């Protein structure tokens, strides 16, 4: 069983080498982070969601977000929008002007600034509109199209099966579904029973999402829910080795140990360097402040370093702080009695 859970699978004509997908996360899954995830075993990475209007108006910041590193294939670019015409134009741009392997439509984002424009999770209220949107996009592009959605808008409007079937009829090559409603945001528990119903109803792959925090959770999503693949999001932040642990567990049934604190610091420094290389020193350092606390979480005596990094403004200063902390941590760990 474990080896079957690790087998390659396909989205359209794109082969995905394993069953672990990294979720699109705004402000997180840029190319710098995606490459790290690939290096740790992610079968598929998905960029942070990108506005259709930003693409249409050739906003430079938006266009920069479309950068794809040759080392991150297969990868997917996710777009969002509230109108069929603009989303189709954005999809055509991604199809023709980027090297992405897959185009993903966001129909699950729960935040108000997205849903109030009739985008994101707002699509979940009408399966007919889901079909219309997906059909229009798939007809306009050559690359496989996937849809990321939630189970419903709220407890009174849970159209998970209907929306998944509508997307499938529209030509979607796979569905990624988060087991929470829009109203839940990230609170409460993901409803895997609904995901199981979706998996049984559709013929295309289901990527199960929500509360997949451990390798055992991933195995359960595949075996009990019947998902084709698992999508991990917040569990990967500052913790990309969970991807290695998960792919290894699915292939062998063996749970690898957690990395040493020094390894975490090494990956954090790599993340900083990749961000600066991708976005320049100012923006790269600014973005790193949002990520470094995840890497340092749970490591002894890291509070002072976290605070100092929040006010650091250069890559040299940040690297020195991480190096100094690594030296202090090594001394501290060496002084502790061996158990």
**Count, residues in the chain:** 339
The C-alpha atoms of residue 315 and residue 321 are separated, in whole angstroms, by 10
Q: Token pair for residue 18?
A: 């394993």
Q: In whole angstroms, how far apart are CA 183 and each of 106, 124, 236, 293, 309? A: 16, 12, 24, 28, 35
Report the C-alpha gap between 3 and 231 in whole angstroms.
19
For residue 142, give every residue at least 6 positions away whose Cβ sits within 8 Å of its Cβ, in sequence order, or none: 95
Q: How far is CA 93 from the centre of its chain?
A: 22
Q: Determine whether 109 is an active site residue.
A: yes
Contacts of 53 (CB under 8 A, 6+ apart): 81, 86, 90
Which one of the listed residues 37, 47, 109, 285 is annotated catalytic? 109
- Helix ranges (DSSP H) in the chain: 2-5, 31-39, 52-56, 60-65, 84-97, 112-115, 127-140, 160-169, 192-201, 215-220, 241-252, 261-279, 281-296, 303-311, 315-335
Give the Cβ contact number of residue 235 at 10 Å.
Answer: 18
DSSP line for 2-68: HHHHT--EEETTEEESSSEEEPP-TTT-SHHHHHHHHHTT-SEEEPPPEEHHHHHTT-HHHHHHT--
Neighbours of 200 (CB within 10 A): 11
Q: Give the whole-angstrom CA distance, residue 236 versus residue 234.
A: 5
Catalytic residue numbers, as ranges:
109
């Amino acid at each position: 069983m474990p080896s079957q859970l690790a087998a390659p699978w396909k989205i359209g004509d794109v082969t995905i080498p394993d069953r672990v997908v990294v979720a699109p996360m705004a402000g997180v899954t840029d190319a710098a982070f995606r490459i790290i995830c690939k290096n740790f075993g992610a079968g598929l990475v998905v960029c942070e969601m990108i506005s259709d209007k930003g693409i249409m108006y050739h906003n430079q910041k938006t266009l920069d977000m479309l950068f794809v590193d040759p080392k991150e294939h297969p990868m997917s670019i996710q777009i969002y929008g509230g109108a069929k015409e603009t989303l189709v134009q954005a999809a055509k741009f991604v199809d023709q002007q980027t090297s992405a392997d897959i185009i993903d439509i966001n129909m699950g984002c729960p935040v108000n600034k997205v849903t109030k424009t009739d985008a994101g999770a707002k699509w979940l209220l009408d399966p007919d509109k889901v079909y219309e949107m997906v059909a229009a996009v798939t007809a306009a592009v050559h690359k496989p199209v996937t849809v990321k959605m939630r189970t419903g808008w709220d407890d009174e409007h849970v159209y998970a099966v209907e929306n998944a079937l509508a997307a499938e009829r529209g030509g979607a090559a796979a569905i990624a579904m988060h087991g929470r409603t829009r109203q839940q945001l990230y609170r409460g528990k993901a409803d895997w029973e609904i995901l199981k119903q979706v998996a049984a109803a559709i013929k295309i792959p289901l990527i199960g999402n929500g509360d997949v925090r451990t390798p055992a959770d991933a195995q359960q999503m595949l075996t009990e829910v019947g998902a084709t693949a698992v999508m991990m999001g917040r569990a990967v932040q500052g913790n990309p080795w969970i991807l290695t642990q998960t792919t290894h567990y699915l292939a062998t049934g063996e749970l690898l140990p957690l990395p040493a604190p020094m390894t975490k610091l090494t990956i954090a420094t790599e993340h900083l360097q990749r961000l600066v290389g991708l976005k320049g020193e100012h923006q790269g350092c600014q973005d790193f402040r949002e990520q470094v606390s995840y890497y340092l979480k749970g490591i002894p005596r890291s509070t002072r370093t976290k605070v100092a990094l929040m006010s650091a403004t250069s890559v040299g200063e940040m690297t020195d702080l991480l190096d100094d902390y690594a030296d202090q941590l090594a001394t501290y760990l060496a002084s502790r009695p061996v158990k």
